[in-house]
Structure 1
Amino acid sequence: MFTKLKNIVLVLLLFVVSVPASAQCAMCRAVLESDGNSVTAEAVNDGIVYLMVIPYILVAVVGIVVYRIMNGNKKEDKNKKEVV
């Protein structure tokens, strides 16, 4: 029980604490900032970060589904053993 609570708190802490990231390569940033329009450079950077996050979310969802399926099968096996 305590380890489960500890894991949940750790995951929540990882979501709350963030580290600023620059997702643009040096060449893309130089071209965008050479125009003097830093708003466009920030918008492109935010778009790149957004596109980078989507695969991680999908992998996490698939992992959760597989975990639930595997744990559901174990619970069913325990119930079958108790009935017999």
Structure 2
Amino acid sequence: MYINKKDPDAVKREIQELKNKKAEIENKIATIEQIAARFSMRYGESQEKIDKLINDMNEIDKQIKYLSNNESKNK
């Protein structure tokens, strides 16, 4: 994750991209939950996929928080 410090909006764009990625992951989780309910997938298999996606979302949240904190310190 490289951010050009000369571009004042670079951090904001990066945060927005991360938020978009998080929304995509949330949609994937919802889709997996729907599929699991409709087709009675084995609970462990679908839950494992959901857990991985939730971990990905948590990492994105950490990156957003880090970028937001650094942006506010640079002002």
TM-score w.r.t. length of structure 2: 0.48
Choose 1 or 2 for highest CA Rg.
1
Structure having greater relative contact order (Cα 8 Å, sep ≥ 6) = 2
TM-score w.r.t. length of structure 1: 0.44
